[in-house]
Amino acid sequence: MTSPAFDFAPLFPAGLPAPAAKWTGLAKYSFVGGNNDPDQVPVEGLIEAVNAVLRREGKTLATYGLASGPQGYLPLRQFLTAKLQSDAGIDCAADEILIVSGSLQALDLVNATLLARGDTIIIERDSYQGALNRLTRLGVNVVGIPLDHDGMRMDALAQALADLKRRGITPKYIYTIPTVQNPTGTIMPLARRAELLKLAGQYGVPIFEDDCYADLIWDRQRPPALHAMSRNGGVIHIGSFSKSIAPALRVGYIVAPWSVLSRMLALKTDAGSGALEQMVLAEYCAPHFSSHVPKLTRGLRAKLETLMEALNEQFGTAAEFDDPKGGIFLWVKLPDQVDTLKLYQAALAAGVAINPGPEWSTDKVHAGPRLRLCFASPSHEQIREGIALLAEICRREFGVPARSANVEKRGRA
């Protein structure tokens, strides 16, 4: 470059998000992101699968969509029809499944198909940051419904629907993570699912069911999906292989009636999702998924135990949480004086990454002293050390947990 550098900034349209910061590596103690346990990636099984499928069908990589068309690799959709039937009670054909590049693309496609700026949707008050951020960017009004130990509260949902109706507003959808809710880890019981479907039907609102974490349940007692229980087909169901196999493989899926799936497909102008990842997943999962997942969840449960122990030791009663029924995250409440957005900054500077509650909630006040801790990726040792360090920082910044408790606990460690 010998001329003055071209300035792109005047060309940027209004509303462009702030520039991304340069990536500087993972935190030493990383409790963020849906990352999984590196020791639980079934590397040998994936190698075996990729060898078999490439040797058999490698030439099909010359064709966009392989020989399966734009909805995704047919053997993967066939695996999913069987899996969804046995695990979630969903009765769907391979033609009602669209393979996507991770469930984030599913969120984008569902949103693009149903939402316009100014629309209203209903969501669990504490919910997935990736869903919340998208809605904000789209200019959609978000009504948060509080949760209890069984997930979204139906009394609050009924009231919100009635309130909206009174104001002449029909929400475009009710977004829910009914099975291992993110971040609370709750599982909505069968009876409440029926109530939710009844309310949705009564108000003519579809349900957007995000079942991304539903494979990871400690006791394997997974209720039927809302999609399976629906009597009018008004449920769009999405899922992913990120939590069950590996997040860096960007493969998710949407199950929906063709009338709406065909609109999403028209918006999916990416010439198909990555074929090799679909092929290796189909080849690996058909024989191995049902034995891999229980092994994975046992390992996750053990890490969760370590995390809960470490929190009890380091924070004592200052850290409140429910023992989640599955998943990879723990939703923790600290004393009200703790501002987790500030804690996040201070902790990050010390090498501990956490998710501050306000980023995972529609209610910034309620979520102010809360945080999400992901436990799948760090080792048991990193969990213990990271939580000790977090407690130290929290005490320094906010005076809790009280020093004495911590010193006592650390003496025992």
For the CA atoms of 378, 382, 383, 386, what is the dihedral angle to 10 degrees? Answer: -120
| Range 209-238, binding its own copies (CB under 8 A) | 230-234
Which value, to the nearest 10 degrees, does the dihedral of the CA atoms of residues 85, 91, 92, 97 take? -50
CA distance 138 to 173: 14
- When the beta carbons of 171 and 178 are compared against its own copies, the nearer one is 171
What size, in residues, is the chain? 413
Q: Which stretch binds its own copies (CB under 8 A): 111-119, 314-322, 344-352, 391-399?
A: 111-119
Q: Which of 166, 167, 168, 259 binds its own copies (CB under 8 A)?
A: 259
Distance, in Å, from the CA atom of 30 to the CA atom of 205, rounded to the nearest integer, reads: 38
Binding mask 13-42 toward its own copies (x if CB under 8 A, else -) reads xx-xxxxxxxx-xx------xxxxxxxxx-
Q: How far apart are CA 302 and CA 343, in angstroms?
A: 26
Counting residues that bind its own copies (by CB under 8 A) gives: 102
Residue 258 near its own copies by CB under 8 A: yes
User: Residues 238, 378, 391, 344: is their CA dihedral positive or negative?
Assistant: negative
- Which residue, 147 or 226, has its beta carbon nearer to its own copies? 226
The 97-100 sheet, strands edge to edge: 97-100, 252-255, 235-240, 207-210, 174-176, 120-124, 141-145
Do the beta carbons of residue 217 and residue 325 sit within 8 Å?
yes
Where in 298-357 is the site for its own copies (CB under 8 A)? none
Determine which residue in the list 89, 189, 224, 274 makes contact with its own copies, applying CB under 8 A: 274
Nearer Cβ to its own copies (16/365): 16
11 binds its own copies (CB under 8 A): yes
Task: Report the nearest approach of its own copies to the CB of residue 360 (Å).
Answer: 16
State the nearest-atom distance from the C-beta of 88 to its own copies, in Å.
16
The reply on whether position 113 binds its own copies by CB under 8 A is yes
Q: What is the pattern of x (binds its own copies, CB under 8 A) and - over residues 90-109?
A: -----x-----xx-xx--x-
State how far the Cα of 156 lies from the Cα of 221, in Å rounded to an integer.
26
Burial class (CB in 10 A: 0-12, 13-18, 19+), 235: buried
Footprint (CB under 8 A) of its own copies, residues 114-173 = 114-116, 119, 130, 133-134, 172-173
Alpha-carbon distance of 276 to 348, in angstroms, equals: 36
In angstroms, the CA 258 to CA 262 distance is 5
Concatenated DSSP letters of 303-345: HHHHHHHHHHHHHGGGSB----SBSSEEEEE--TT--HHHHHH
Question: What is the closest distance, in whole angstroms, from the C-beta atom of residue 394 to its own copies in the complex?
Answer: 26
The span of 81-89, 249-257, 383-391, 395-403 binding its own copies (CB under 8 A) equals 249-257
Q: What string marks each residue from 62 to 81 as x (binds its own copies by CB under 8 A) or -? A: xxxxxx-xxx----------
- Quick one: 196 or 318, whose CB is closer to its own copies? 196
Strands 207-210 and 235-240: parallel
Residue from 109, 157, 160, 260 touching its own copies (CB under 8 A): that is 260
List 144, 151, 185, 272, residue binding its own copies (CB under 8 A) = 272
Considering the rule CB under 8 A, would residue 51 count as an interface residue with its own copies?
yes
Among 28, 153, 165, 263, binds its own copies (CB under 8 A): 263
Sole binder of its own copies in the list 1, 167, 168, 381 (CB under 8 A)? 1
State the nearest-atom distance from the C-beta of 273 to its own copies, in Å.
Answer: 7
Q: Rounded to whole angstroms, what are the CA distances from 128 to 26, 185, 210, 264, 293? A: 21, 11, 10, 22, 23
Q: Are 176 and 182 in contact (CB under 8 A)?
A: no
